[in-house]
Structure 1
């Protein structure tokens, strides 16, 4: 493994930065402290321009290479934490009740800071780099808000790269799935409006609980009977709410959940079948059913050429044997997909030590990933914006 020597020299400082961010987690669009830390570091390290308040708490730094050029590479990291109570007993565990960096966004921010420091010192590239620190990745639409506020109009990029830590991969392995890599996601809310009654006289009701529970079962038929067998699809009902007393049949019941898919066509088919099932249940049970289907994440599409270029940059750091093209889909979602719909690029996963999964209150990230990720980001800039002699 060949971390860039200069980055290795300040690896301990990167760990200290991550521990500070980890101890002070902030939820989406609330990352004011984190954004202030990022701003201060970028300015202290000589980044040419630092722009704040983009998409709420987002930051964009602008770096010019040692030679002029007409191309620009974007590097992106997310900054938000999750509403989870930490249970690690780390000396730098969260000081903010009910908030935790359980997904590793503290490491993403730190790795991009490490790449920024190195690139600001060396300037061994031609053209520009845009350093994008994004708020609110965890389902709140931070990428979309930055785009709506003119991110790529103000800071145009020819290509863009992001990364995610991965405790499920071997330590130091960098992987890229070419093409559709991470699922798109729909969140849904379905409300059944029936007729309530005394629980001892259910014949006077149109029981929404009966309808809702039957609907939960039938929704799974979309996966088993409408999805082409070779195409991945996940439909999970994650909430059901109804009633407030032992002796009352309630008037309403609601269910909620998520759909994960890898093609817009399959998404549209699933939406259509859910609507059809609800319409049929309305008629069969004499109730009213409202359906709210909300696209939260697009399918993350890695550009084939740029995905492989990313792996070449990673191979300079972790070796060719640890820079791998994978065929494994990730059914988790990532709003970097929104940026990739506008600018071509790629997203990689970087393995690290640890066995506790992401989004778990006991998740612990291995600091050894920090100089690796920072080096990979720096190398993709140097490779994609070469200085010609």
Structure 2
């Protein structure tokens, strides 16, 4: 089926991204993968190409795009090559919406030009060791000084994607005590300079997939954060973070579709080229039927993603819409990628094979941005259940 969600400009962007990935990412990716990190200079290159500034307003050096479709094209081209742009995903998907929606004009002027060029890489730190992202359990504290000019940040965060290279980290910290009526009250977002005294990047976490994402643990010991670096309203971090979830979940759904589509491409190519006897593996009926079933499922995922993209661009994407899209796309993509790995046989189990990387990279999508069970709860509530 011909897709109607993309136009000529999107197709031109796709050609540019495909050429860049094939020429500058694929040849080096195995080395990055073995090192568990993309080089810091890579982000400057993404800045030069305008990738980091696509949704940054033009007055701060970006392109000012308000459509998510370019990001969808980028996700598809990244998955097609089974590579990763490292911490750029968190920089774009988790941090930029918060800055665009919450930052003051003065903060935008300070942060967004460097955001677009890659000179200032951002990460988001919410989860804590032993407690995860549950707001009422957060122990990282940042009381305001008596003169009201700065916060004193103490605590630790974990699962910080992009944390290894981050120049600025948006930290969710407790700046006031919760109330009985509002257990999430008292949490604020602080944009912390990684060069500040007391800020320490701990161990890089060895994850199952997304091995070049620079995921790290961070600790803060008496880190002084100017009050001018607070993002959004004080004591309302939970509401700010929840407001960004529909867009984050759309990004995950888009990524799931891209990975499932790439998995079918890899399986089709492998079974066509692989000749276990006198015929290619693809010539056997079971293989052909498996590929056909996977293709049909990807078509269904694509239809959901394209509808969600169009709905988002109209400004109509609701939390339940985004939850439904993410739930369906990630669960379905997981099945497709698993079946495509199976078609590779033992080759698919090799850690450096493209299908194995997709399999490992995708698994977090059913956890990140709200687990599948959390999404079912949101959808059920919207149904009045």
Normalised by the length of structure 2, the TM-score is: 0.27
Q: Normalized per residue, which structure has more helix?
A: 2
Q: Normalized per residue, which structure has more strand?
A: 1
